[in-house]
Structure 1
Amino acid sequence: MFRSARHLLASLVILFLSLPAVAQVSVTSGNGEGTVAAPVVPEDLTPDQVDGLVARMSDDQVRALLLERLDAVAEKQAASAADHEDPITEINEIWAEMVASWTHVLTTLPNIFSKQAEAFGNFATTFGSTGVLVLLGLVISVLAIGYVAERLFGYLTRGWHDQSETQTEADLWGAVRYLFRRFCYEIAGLVVFYVVIRAAGRAMLTPDQITYAAPFVFYLIWIPRLGAAVSRFVLAPRKPHFRLVNVDDHWAKYLHRNLIGLLLLIGLTLFVLRFNALNGVTGEDTRIGFWLNAAIHVYIGVIAWTARAGLSQMMLGTDPDRTRFDEEVAHYYPYFAIGVSVVIWLLVEFLVAQNDPAILAVLVHGSHFTTMFWLLIAPALDTLIRGLVRHLQPPMSGEGPLAERAYRSAKRSYIRIGRVVAGLFVVFMIARAWQLDLRHVASAGVGAEVGGAVIEFLLIIAVGYIMNEVVSLWINRRLAKEQTAAEALDEEAGGEGGGAGGSRLATVLPLIRVTAQITIAVIFGLLALGALGINITPLLAGAGVLGLAIGFGAQKLVADIVGGIFFLIDDAFRVGEYVDVGGTMGTVEKISVRSMQLRHHRGPVHTIPYGEIQKLTNFSRDWVIMKLKFTVPFDTDPNKVKKIFKKIGAEMMEDEVHKDGFLQPFKSQGVFDFDDVGMIIRGKFMAKPGKQFTLRKEIFNRVKAAFRDNGIDFARREVRVAIPGLDETDLSEPQKAAVGAAAGEAVNQQVNKP
């Protein structure tokens, strides 16, 4: 029995803990007289080999092997716990490192001048006092040669630049063309300058001299001049009539001057750090980088605070359709710039406190300045996007309030798409500055590091959002055009119903939009969850079960949806058409997946599920016949009336305002009926749906005028009193009329007596 227990214990140890470590350990026996070494356990044991090994092991050997495995597990757990420290502890450690770094800054403050003098001394030792002067003279000579070449290039091409300025029109595109040509002109000059000094430097300087001269030229001359060209393109400080941004002359000149000063300070910082490194003085010796970097961030804060009115004015832009969000961004942008400067400064201090050579090498190349640049320019890119959308957006489709709302909605869609694209661009540029390839991180997929999963998640969400906006934008533009035409027809109908309605496309597009948005949201939502490492298979299975439950428990809903699909396939109705559904009449105002809404011309809205529609009558399809009745006295000549109707119909068919509404002209149908007042003569015409009411009003007006001109009265009810013998009396005509009037008044009183 003891042997079986020992056999089972050894098997569990070997198979369950299965670590491929093989070591010899000593275990003191209970009597303290000796040690027992754990046996060597080979890898990839078969069950038969395990049985054979256990059979040869003693109890002490089993205990030794168990202790060895338990110690290995404990060490692994301790290492894992050490890698996952408490967040509060990590924060305290980070703070302690930063405090230690700042303390070191204060302790090395007296060494700044001495160490800097040491750097210059090492530089002088490397080249000698004469060599330093020679190097300085050669650098000045190379710069002079480059400057002369640049001025010569400007002189040879001045005619093109002057001609472009004189031919520029005083509008937006004219300003853009002029500024872009001037910018290209300046960049071409800088390229000539760079090529010439590079060629001259290689010819006149030794490789060691180039090593020292290149950072000076790049950081203190090339970068500030390039930044000045970009600033002149954007701010146009001396060309206010060509300025692209909404800022006055004072702030344009102020920002231009200080941007150049800021670039000079940044270049000086990078050059000093590079110069000290070449001359044997590290950043730990003087910490001069701390003071120069702090000066840069203080300078940024001073610029943003002083020019906050100009920056807000510039960020607000000139677009009249700006939203409250745009106004808030413009108002808080100066404070955002100050906050970004502070955050980047703290980030740099944190990275410096880590004292990692790889990170310090990246900082020396100015990655934090690049990051700060793109973060500060991101809101400016938003202003640029709004300006471009304002001038590049296609013109408004149709007229009226509906078209204006659609136009503004499309503008916001373009702006949102531009914001997402600009945000992705800024993120990629910042990652590039830190030498981080986001594509490789994101392509690692599910199960990779948390950073890769988050990046992949954000990219999927961004792509899905852009696709949703593009689909919605296209559908909304088409829908706005169709609905504007339907709105015009409804106005012509005078609110009486029976309008032509919208097209079939206008009816189907809202359903397509909803379906597309739901599809995009579901697909990209599942992909995004998968990118975070969430298993979406249970979600898909749950959705299938839910769909099955809905199919069994909501048969009426399924019937409504299927009925609506076939109604749309049959093109039985469209949005804007006037229909009768089982006695419920109204204009189709809205359709959904399961029901339609009818708006009665007096205001009530009826919601009717598709499954309840047994018969649908459409009053707005293809053509409409209007029949008009006119009551005239019995002695009226019907042929004369027929000629009048025919003439009115011919005139309206030639009228530019009304001829397009007719399918058949207005004409007489002759005497339709008699009543106790007179003859009823009927006329008819065939018109396009929605045009019939406007044409009917015009026909009534013309018939009334034509009857008046031809001496034809409309029949009206009247009471005639016959007085026997009145015609045989000797009374005059006025007297007979007075008697008749008195008799008529007496009859009226008798009739009206209660």
Structure 2
Amino acid sequence: MTGGGCRVGHWPLRASRMVIALAVIVSVMLACADVRAQSHTGAVGEAGAGSDVAALAEQMGPLSAEERAALLARVTDAQARELLIHYLTRDAPAAAQAPVSTSASVIARVKAMAGQVGESLRRVAAAAPDAMVAYGRVLQERLDVTFGAGGGLLIVGSLLLLCVAGALTEWLARRALEPILRANRQGPCATARDQFLRTVIWLVAELVALLAFAGGYVAAFVAAWHGNPARRDFVLAVLVAILITRVAVALTRFVFAPKSPDWRLMPVDDEAAAHFVRGARQLAVFGSLLLLGSMFGHAWGMGHDEWRFVALVSGLLFAAAALAFLLSFQRHARRAVEAALGSETVPRWAGGVAGWFWHLLAVLYVIAAFLIGSVSVLLDQPFDPVAAVLGFVVLFVLYPYLNTLFGRMIAPLGPAGEVAAPGPTYDAQFMAEIGESEDEGAINAAISSAALRAADRRSLQADRRVLRRIVAIATFVACVLLFGVVIGVDLFGDTSAHPVASFLIRVLVDVGLVGLVAYAVWSFASAWIDRKLAEEHAKMPPEEHDDIGPAMQGGTRLQTVLPLIRKTLAVTILLLALLVSLDALGVNIVPLIAGAGVIGLAIGFGSQTLVKDIISGLFFLMDDAFRIGEYIESGNVSGTVERFNLRSLSLRGYLGAVYTVPYGAIGAVTNYSRDWVIMKLRFRVPYDTDLDKVRKIFKKIGQEMLEDPELGPNFLQPFKSQGVVKMDDSAFIVSGKFMTKPNKQWAVRKAVYEKVQRAFRENGIAFAPKRVIVEVPAENHFEEDDDLPRKPALTGGAATAVVAEGG
């Protein structure tokens, strides 16, 4: 794929390399078989002659009905009688035995299986020296050629001619498809849908060219075929191997687009994409040849033990090649997984862990598939290696690709997964709104509008991230189901030929569905709560605190209750998902629920204080005694409510200290932030002050402050005089009061003090200092023996009295 398509001038070179490699390996296999066949003189005698009955029965196992009849025709009467007795003895029901426990039965079955595997291994090892001889003999008999007389060269030359015929038809097809591919290369690639469409068109064209190759190959063979069924099967099997290899390479290039970065959906660089395609090509060629050789031996009547040896060696070689591929490309694979998840979906550390985990699972899958296949071959149980390879592709290639594709098509996050930055974005719309205006109101309105747009973008991208995670979980469940179908597991039947695999896949599907539903419910509920909290926050006026007094601006009741509801909902969903997942694993959850009830009862009796705190907190919330952001006082503790939890609340004191108060210890609550606040101010004036004049001054100040554009909206009642509320030895105590909204009284009080001071100075009214009158007798009244220093002591006592009264 170059620039969006495959260049016509390059494909014959790649195809010729692949065909030459196939021909060389087939020639080597045939030559080895020829050498081993010529080193052993004497053909195979009567089938089964000189072998025991068990070996003869083992040899008949994989044969068809016609082949069994031909084999029985060549045995003696004594051998036939012993063979019948062998089958009757083997199929006879076992003698009645005492019932055994399930664990003992499992152990016995494992021991029996291990014994059978060991016995089969001994037979395979004994047949290993003659495996290549048997393989060469079968090929010569079926293909009706003699390798030593140039038969191998004849086969290889015929295959090359057929491949040349197929290549010619493929070249004609590619020439016809070139206008379509040229138009496809010039198509847009701005979105994930465009990229997918470009690669699909290229893949369809590639498959059409491969069909043309197959058509030319088959047409050339039909033209030269002389009616030998074995040669027909051999030629068609080689064609299937070529097609499997080239389709695998085409699909890999479709996924990674090594030479078309603009078309690439998978988040890998050019180097990694080229490595993946190259490794997939090598594995496909090697695996197809191994599968071809094993298939010929099994289909053409090769000895059973010899065929099992060939199958085991082929599986070992392919597993080793696959592990070498995974180990050599582990860095690229981990980077691809981390980039596929992306920081917008999971944290960076989780992406790194997922990359290592993906690679570990891939290695374990290859090892497990090899072990299961080897045991299946040794126990004569069915095993499909092609299904195992397709299962690997589904889990480790198709799932990341579909996850990336659906995620980018359904919930795109923008270029490179960009996330809107916090705060307003001063974009072109913002600049157009303010223009060259210097009006502060217009600029503030534009800033508010930009902030709202930024908040909408952040909310939209948060919803998209949630949707991408839901898509990832749903895609995983679908791929697990597809994996079960590919490997032939009956997920919905009562019985299955692979009970362990069926159980594991069912568990993965059930847990995945539970996780999908739980995460979807939690995500949408949490998003709704966040949206409601944002709406409630937008309804509140901006906080204007002058740091004169404690902040007392409270939130709404929803702002107080919704965070608690979110925490409760999260715990509830987590517990329900855990219980349902345990039930899917086969764990009986009824005792767990009963045990949890007993434990809860015990905790209730043993932690009465905790229960008291929780119950008290519920009643405080029901009474709406306080909210987030309100200033309250309880006992000797006061502060702004910062947060709630299950058993306590946190208060931020005026000087910054944080108090954690259990609900059970709150008692009476004084809330200073609810509805309105009255503040009373007192002023000392001399006895000769005109009190009516003071009243008029206070009233005038109140009217002026009501008309103030900043302070006026804060008033609920204006500042006014309450007259003389107290007298002392030196002054009248005049009081004034006003009513404001919560948290607004401090700024109003500051302004009232300034205006009263200015008005008193303008009207010649002085503030009366505090005085204590002390009558001291004249000096001639003191006796000669009196202590004159008593006068300073009397003055100090008077000052102490003034301070005590002011305190």
SS at structure 1 position matched to 2:258 = coil
Identity %: 22
Q: Is 2:179 the counterpart of 1:155?
A: yes
Question: CA-to-partner distance for each residue in 1:439-478, whole Å, 9 max, x for gaps?
Answer: 335999xxx9787666656555444444443343334434
SS at structure 2 position matched to 1:573 = coil
Superposed displacement of residue 609, structure 1 = 3.4
Structure 2 counterpart of 1:368 = 388
Superposed displacement of residue 620, structure 1 = 3.2
Structure 2 vs 1, CA of residues 175 and 513 (structure 1 numbering), >3 Å: closer, same or farther?
closer
Q: Is 2:560 the counterpart of 1:507?
A: yes
Contact preservation (8 Å) 1:564, 1:594: yes
Structure 2 counterpart of 1:185 = 201
Distance 1:570 1:106 in 2: 86
Distance 1:194 1:506 in 2: 64
Distance 2:145 2:502 in 1: 45
Structure 2 vs 1, CA of residues 609 and 584 (structure 1 numbering), >3 Å: closer, same or farther?
same
Summarize the alignment of residues 260-279 of structure 1 with structure 2, pairs less than 5 Å apart: 260-279=281-300
Question: CA-to-partner distance for each residue in 1:75-115, whole Å, 9 max, x for gaps?
Answer: 35489999543588468537625743763674345438725
Summarize the alignment of residues 34-183 of structure 1 with structure 2, pairs less than 5 Å apart: 75-77=97-99, 83-86=105-108, 89=111, 92-93=114-115, 96=118, 99-100=121-122, 103=125, 106-108=128-130, 110-111=132-133, 114-115=136-137, 117-118=139-140, 121=143, 141=165, 144-145=168-169, 148-156=172-180, 158-164=182-188, 168=189, 174=190, 176-183=192-199
Distance 2:420 2:756 in 1: 41
Contact preservation (8 Å) 1:486, 1:501: no
Q: Is 2:366 the counterpart of 1:341?
A: yes
Equivalent of 1:327, from 352, 369, 384? 352
Distance 1:284 1:73 in 2: 31
Structure 2 vs 1, CA of residues 177 and 456 (structure 1 numbering), >3 Å: closer, same or farther?
closer
TM-score, reference length from structure 1 = 0.62
Kindly provide the amino acid, as one letter, of the partner of residue 276 in structure 2: L
SS at structure 2 position matched to 1:391 = coil
Structure 2 vs 1, CA of residues 137 and 471 (structure 1 numbering), >3 Å: closer, same or farther?
same
> Mind listing any 5+ residue stretches in structure 1 that lack a counterpart?
1-70, 169-173, 721-746
Contact preservation (8 Å) 1:498, 1:619: no
Structure 1 counterpart of 2:630 = 577
Structure 2 vs 1, CA of residues 596 and 133 (structure 1 numbering), >3 Å: closer, same or farther?
same
Superposed displacement of residue 568, structure 1 = 3.8
Contact preservation (8 Å) 1:630, 1:714: no
- Higher RCO, 1 vs 2 (CA within 8 Å, ≥6 residues apart): 2
Structure 1 counterpart of 2:661 = 607
Distance 1:507 1:430 in 2: 48
Distance 2:324 2:659 in 1: 61
Equivalent of 2:709, from 652, 657, 661? 652
Structure 1 counterpart of 2:720 = 669
Contact preservation (8 Å) 1:251, 1:310: yes
Contact preservation (8 Å) 1:672, 1:682: yes
Superposed displacement of residue 297, structure 1 = 3.0
Distance 2:335 2:636 in 1: 60
Query: Greater CA deviation, 382-391 or 150-159?
Result: 382-391
C-alpha RMSD of matched pairs (Å): 6.1
Q: Is 2:527 the counterpart of 1:477?
A: yes
Superposed displacement of residue 395, structure 1 = 6.7
Contact preservation (8 Å) 1:506, 1:575: yes
Contact preservation (8 Å) 1:186, 1:229: no
Distance 1:103 1:585 in 2: 86
Contact preservation (8 Å) 1:378, 1:422: no
Q: Is 2:454 the counterpart of 1:429?
A: no
Superposed displacement of residue 121, structure 1 = 1.9
Contact preservation (8 Å) 1:333, 1:379: no
Contact preservation (8 Å) 2:413, 2:465: no
Superposed displacement of residue 436, structure 1 = 0.3
Structure 2 vs 1, CA of residues 87 and 221 (structure 1 numbering), >3 Å: closer, same or farther?
closer
Structure 2 vs 1, CA of residues 338 and 701 (structure 1 numbering), >3 Å: closer, same or farther?
farther
Summarize the alignment of residues 517-532 of structure 1 with structure 2, pairs less than 5 Å apart: 517=570, 519-520=572-573
SS at structure 2 position matched to 1:605 = strand
Structure 2 vs 1, CA of residues 180 and 683 (structure 1 numbering), >3 Å: closer, same or farther?
farther
Structure 2 vs 1, CA of residues 319 and 609 (structure 1 numbering), >3 Å: closer, same or farther?
closer
SS at structure 2 position matched to 1:579 = strand
Structure 2 vs 1, CA of residues 506 and 266 (structure 1 numbering), >3 Å: closer, same or farther?
farther
Distance 2:667 2:720 in 1: 36
Distance 2:268 2:765 in 1: 72
Structure 2 vs 1, CA of residues 751 and 434 (structure 1 numbering), >3 Å: closer, same or farther?
closer
Equivalent of 1:620, from 641, 650, 673? 673
Superposed displacement of residue 504, structure 1 = 3.1
Superposed displacement of residue 486, structure 1 = 6.1
Contact preservation (8 Å) 1:672, 1:681: yes
Structure 2 vs 1, CA of residues 460 and 300 (structure 1 numbering), >3 Å: closer, same or farther?
closer
Summarize the alignment of residues 543-554 of structure 1 with structure 2, pairs less than 5 Å apart: none
Distance 1:643 1:148 in 2: 101
Contact preservation (8 Å) 1:499, 1:577: yes
Distance 2:121 2:515 in 1: 43
> Mind listing any 5+ residue stretches in structure 2 that lack a counterpart?
1-92, 425-454, 772-794
Structure 2 vs 1, CA of residues 433 and 379 (structure 1 numbering), >3 Å: closer, same or farther?
closer
Distance 1:504 1:443 in 2: 57
Superposed displacement of residue 224, structure 1 = 3.1
SS at structure 2 position matched to 1:652 = coil
Structure 2 vs 1, CA of residues 640 and 565 (structure 1 numbering), >3 Å: closer, same or farther?
closer
Kindly provide the amino acid, as one letter, of the partner of residue 269 in structure 1: L
Kindly provide the amino acid, as one letter, of the partner of residue 291 in structure 2: L
Q: Is 2:332 the counterpart of 1:310?
A: yes
Structure 2 counterpart of 1:48 = none
SS at structure 2 position matched to 1:607 = strand
Distance 1:704 1:157 in 2: 84
Structure 2 counterpart of 1:44 = none
Contact preservation (8 Å) 1:628, 1:682: yes
Kindly provide the amino acid, as one letter, of the partner of residue 238 in structure 1: K
Structure 2 counterpart of 1:19 = none
Structure 2 vs 1, CA of residues 233 and 528 (structure 1 numbering), >3 Å: closer, same or farther?
closer
Contact preservation (8 Å) 2:679, 2:738: yes
Distance 1:413 1:390 in 2: 11
SS at structure 2 position matched to 1:75 = coil
Structure 2 vs 1, CA of residues 97 and 316 (structure 1 numbering), >3 Å: closer, same or farther?
farther
Summarize the alignment of residues 22-33 of structure 1 with structure 2, pairs less than 5 Å apart: none
Contact preservation (8 Å) 2:290, 2:314: yes
Superposed displacement of residue 347, structure 1 = 3.0
Distance 1:81 1:395 in 2: 56
Superposed displacement of residue 301, structure 1 = 3.2
Kindly provide the amino acid, as one letter, of the partner of residue 148 in structure 1: L
Contact preservation (8 Å) 1:631, 1:678: yes
Distance 1:86 1:411 in 2: 54
Structure 1 counterpart of 2:413 = 391
Distance 2:237 2:756 in 1: 94
Distance 2:739 2:468 in 1: 50
Query: Greater CA deviation, 569-578 or 138-147?
Result: 138-147
Contact preservation (8 Å) 2:337, 2:355: yes
Kindly provide the amino acid, as one letter, of the partner of residue 186 in structure 2: D
Superposed displacement of residue 316, structure 1 = 3.3
Distance 2:146 2:723 in 1: 120
Kindly provide the amino acid, as one letter, of the partner of residue 158 in structure 1: R
Contact preservation (8 Å) 1:625, 1:686: yes
Q: Is 2:276 the counterpart of 1:259?
A: no
Summarize the alignment of residues 630-645 of structure 1 with structure 2, pairs less than 5 Å apart: none
Kindly provide the amino acid, as one letter, of the partner of residue 349 in structure 2: R
Distance 2:592 2:359 in 1: 46
